[in-house]
């Protein structure tokens, strides 16, 4: 069933499926891993041997640190609209397939979650995070609209005032702050405690009445899907507008050159 999944690391623990993003050094998804993220959750819906899913990052440094600035620069310099089209198509599939996933999805946020990583974390059903790790949607800081998740999910989880502040500024929250704000469920101090919380709950859910559990998950997500219907396309359209601005290119150049960006509004 999962023969096409090569970049994401899959581990079966009874009726629990663990998905680990393993793209050193910060688990920023490669193009291949991004494609697999757009496929994996739909595959899981057809897996009768899996009742609960855990999403995490490999190692102890990062859950996922977002996009690859170098690839962003190459796409802009090459005027590669085809690459961007497929990237946005996959982004839509990731968000929509996570919302359509019929089985509980537990986020094991083992380190920093930035950009896409923050979006993935916010789309999990129940999320545990290391207390000192940081989570941020930094799209605006790199000259892009927070369109592929943050502007959709953050206001629902933490309220519009807090979401506006963090999406406008890109200012990160620690795991403790994220728990207090309602962005995640709980922050923990040690990796041992993280595993106890995540896998303890995963096993508890795996031992629950299957049909009742899965249909309750579907019922809750139907509310979110109805609220977000049509918004994903609009948000990704706004992100596309920003992806071809000079300010976006300047943000990438400044990052590569380790200097402060000079934005012009173009």
Residue 199 domain-assigned (yes or no): no
Domain of 162: which CATH number? 3.90.226.10
Identify whether the C-beta of residue 152 lies closer than 8 Å to the C-beta of residue 123: no
Closest CA to 125 of 236, 223, 191: 223
58: its two tokens: 């490999």
Summarised one tens digit per residue, pLDDT across range 19-30 is 999 999 999 999
Question: Could you tell me the residue range of the domain that residue 41 belongs to?
Answer: 1-191+205-266
Q: Reply yes or no: is the peptide bond before residue 196 cis, omega within 30 of 0.
A: no
Summarised one tens digit per residue, pLDDT across range 23-75 is 999 999 999 999 999 999 999 999 999 999 999 999 999 999 866 777 788 88
Percent of the chain topping pLDDT 70: 99
The label of the residue with tokens 């819906």 reads 45
What is the number of structural domains in the chain?
Answer: 1
Q: Could you tell me the pTM of the whole model?
A: 0.95
**pLDDT number for residue 9:** 98
C-alpha 231/C-alpha 118 separation (Å) is 19
Residue 198 domain-assigned (yes or no): no
**pLDDT number for residue 68:** 73
Check pLDDT > 80 for residue 115: yes
């Amino acid at each position: 069933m999962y023969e096409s999944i090569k970049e994401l690391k899959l581990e079966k623990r009874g009726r629990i499926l663990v998905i680990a993003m393993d793209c050193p050094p910060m688990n920023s998804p490669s193009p291949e891993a991004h494609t697999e993220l757009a496929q994996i959750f739909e595959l899981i819906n057809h897996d009768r041997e899996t009742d609960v899913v855990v999403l995490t990052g490999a190692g102890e440094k990062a859950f996922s640190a977002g996009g690859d600035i170098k690839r962003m620069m190459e796409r802009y310099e090459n005027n590669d609209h085809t690459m961007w089209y497929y990237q946005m198509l996959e982004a839509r599939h990731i968000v929509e397939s996570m919302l359509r996933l019929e089985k509980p999805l537990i986020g094991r946020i083992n380190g920093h979650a930035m950009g896409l990583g923050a979006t993935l974390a916010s789309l999990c059903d129940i999320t545990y995070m290391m207390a000192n790790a940081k989570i941020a949607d930094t799209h605006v800081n790199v000259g892009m609209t927070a369109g592929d998740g943050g502007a959709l999910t953050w206001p629902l989880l933490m309220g519009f005032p807090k979401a506006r502040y963090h999406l406008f500024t890109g200012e990160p929250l620690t795991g403790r702050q994220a728990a207090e704000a309602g962005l995640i469920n709980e922050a923990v101090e040690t990796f041992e405690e993280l595993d106890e919380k995540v896998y303890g709950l995963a096993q508890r859910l795996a031992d629950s009445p299957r049909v009742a559990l899965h249909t309750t998950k579907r019922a809750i997500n139907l509310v979110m899907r109805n609220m977000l219907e049509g918004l994903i396309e609009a948000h990704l359209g706004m992100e596309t507008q920003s992806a071809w601005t000079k300010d976006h290119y300047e943000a990438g150049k400044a990052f590569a050159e380790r200097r402060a960006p000079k934005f012009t509004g173009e």
